[in-house]
Amino acid sequence: MPRDTLETAPEAPIVTGHAAKLVDLTRQLGDLFRRETEFLHQHRPEIAQSLHGEKSRLISEYRDTLGKLQTNQHLLGAPDSPQRQYIRAITDGFRETLKEHARIVLRLKAVTEGIVRSVGEEIARQNRPVAAYGRNAAARPTSIARPTSIAINQTI
């Protein structure tokens, strides 16, 4: 998991305005996603979930800032300017963090879906109609088995 993008980023040029805000938001989001991923690795989804409000706020600010920069691309200078290269390097590190985060979230989702599917199959198996024969070997009407309650432990 990438620790910080500064190791791979070119030397930090002077970035101001929306570009500086974008760099700051990208770093904050990267740190937040790394923390959330670590909590998921530690099987502590309740703590990871507590970061949701901050994550939503940062993502909203990130989108707004990115939109402003896309509208005013001239603020970043030429396409090969040091500012653009720096932002690109920071963003590439952030994308790696997101890939790692998505990998663990998808893995946990698959595990959870498997558990839910297994519980559903067990309930269906236990609720199958019971076929039985009476004293004179005639088939009795089928009866439905009693409903069964199954609880899922939330710890993954």
Q: What is the pLDDT of residue 82?
A: 84
In a domain? residue 13: yes
- pLDDT given for residue 147 in this prediction: 58
Q: What is the pLDDT of residues 26-39, one digit of tens each?
A: 999 999 999 999 99
Does the residue 155 lie in any domain?
Answer: no
What is the pLDDT averaged over residues 9-24? 78
The single-letter DSSP state of residue 15 is: -
Average pLDDT, the chain: 81
Instruction: For residue 145, tell me if it sits in a domain.
Output: no
**pLDDT class for 60, splitting at 50, 70, 90?**
very high
- Domain membership of residue 77 (yes or no) is yes
Total domains present in the chain: 1
**Which percentage of the chain shows pLDDT scores above 90?**
33
Residue (of 98, 86, 84) closest to 31 by Cα position: 98
What pLDDT was estimated at residue 69?
Answer: 85
pLDDT-based confidence at residue 154 (cuts at 50, 70, 90): low
Query: Mind listing the pLDDT tens digit for each residue in 82-141?
Result: 888 888 899 999 999 999 999 999 998 898 888 888 888 887 777 777 667 777 777 776
Q: For residues 119 and 122, give the distance between their C-alpha atoms in angstroms, rounded to a whole number.
A: 5
Q: Is residue 20 part of a domain?
A: yes
Is there a domain that residue 115 lies in?
no
Grade residue 73 by pLDDT with cuts at 50, 70 and 90.
confident
Domain assignment present for residue 131? The answer is no
In a domain, 81, yes or no: yes
Question: What's the domain range around 72?
Answer: 5-106
Residues facing residue 130 across a β-bridge: 143
